[in-house]
Amino acid sequence: MVDPSDLSPEQLTVASLGQAQHKSPLRKSLYPGDGLGDFVADDMRMLYEPRFRQGEPLSQLSFERAGAREKLFFDPGKTKVAIVTCGGLCPGINNVIRSLVLELTFNYGVQNVWGFRYGFQGLNPEQSRLPMALTPKVVEDIHHRGGTILGTSRGHQSPEVMAHCLADQGFDILFCIGGDGTQHGAHSIASEIARRELPISVVGIPKTIDNDIRFCFRTFGYYTAVAEAETVVDRAHVEAKSILNGVGLVKLMGREAGFIAAAAALASGEANFVLVPEVDFPLEGENGFLAKLQHRLATREHAVVVVAEGAGQDWMPSRTKEHDASGNRRLADVGPFLKQKIQESCAAASLPVKVKYFDPSYHIRSVPATAADSLLCERLARNAVHAAMAGKTDMLIGLWHNHFIHVPLAISTGAKKQLSPEGELWQAVLALTGQ
Ligand code: F6P
Pocket test for ligand 1, best of 148, 180, 210 (most atoms within 8 A of CB): 210
Average pLDDT, the chain: 95
pLDDT of residue 1: 64
pLDDT of residue 326: 66
pLDDT of residue 142: 98
Summarised one tens digit per residue, pLDDT across range 296-325 is 999 999 999 999 999 999 989 765 677 777
User: Ligand 1 mean position to 122 CA, how many Å?
Assistant: 21
User: Ligand 1 mean position to 424 CA, how many Å?
Assistant: 25
Question: Closest ligand 1 atom to the C-alpha of 89?
Answer: 1
Summarised one tens digit per residue, pLDDT across range 238-297 is 999 999 999 999 999 998 999 999 999 999 999 999 999 999 999 999 999 999 999 999
Pocket test for ligand 1, best of 220, 253, 259, 309 (most atoms within 8 A of CB): 253
Question: Closest ligand 1 atom to the C-alpha of 365?
Answer: 4
User: Ligand 1 mean position to 112 CA, how many Å?
Assistant: 32
pLDDT of residue 42: 95
Beta-bridged to residue 304, according to DSSP, are: 248
The Cα 86–Cα 215 span in angstroms is: 20
Residue having the nearest C-alpha atom to atom 13 of ligand 1: 88
Which of 3, 75, 141, 210 is the catalytic position? 210
Question: Closest ligand 1 atom to the C-alpha of 90?
Answer: 1
Q: Which residues contact ligand 1 via a Cβ below 6 A? A: 88, 179, 208-210, 253-255, 309, 324, 365
Question: Closest ligand 1 atom to the C-alpha of 260?
Answer: 6
Summarised one tens digit per residue, pLDDT across range 373-382 is 999 999 999 9
User: Ligand 1 mean position to 25 CA, how many Å?
Assistant: 40
Question: Closest ligand 1 atom to the C-alpha of 253?
Answer: 6
The Cα 231–Cα 268 span in angstroms is: 7
- Strand 173-178 and strand 201-206: the pairing is parallel
Residue having the nearest C-alpha atom to atom 16 of ligand 1: 88
Pocket test for ligand 1, best of 89, 180, 209 (most atoms within 8 A of CB): 209
What stretches in the chain show pLDDT beneath 50? none
pLDDT of residue 320: 64
Task: State the SS3 of the chain.
Answer: CCCHHHCCCCCCCCEECCCCCEECCCCEECCCCCCCEECCCCCCEEECCCCCCCCCCCCCCEEEECCCCCEECCCHHHCEEEEEECCCCCCCHHHHHHHHHHHHHHHHCCCEEEECCCHHHHHCCCCCCCCEECCHHHHCCHHHCCCCCCCCCCCCCCHHHHHHHHHHCCCCEEEEEECHHHHHHHHHHHHHHHHCCCCCEEEEEEECCCCCCCCECCCECHHHHHHHHHHHHHHHHHHHHCCCCEEEEEEECCCCCCHHHHHHHHHHCCCCEEECCCCCCCCCCCCCHHHHHHHHHHHHCEEEEEEECCCCHHHCCCCCCCECCCCCECCCCHHHHHHHHHHHHHHHCCCCCEEEEECCHHHHCCCCCCHHHHHHHHHHHHHHHHHHHCCEECEEEEEECCEEEEEEHHHHCCCCCCCCCCCHHHHHHHHHHCC
pLDDT of residue 318: 62
Q: Does residue 210 carry a catalytic annotation?
A: yes
User: Ligand 1 mean position to 337 CA, how many Å?
Assistant: 19
pLDDT of residue 330: 82
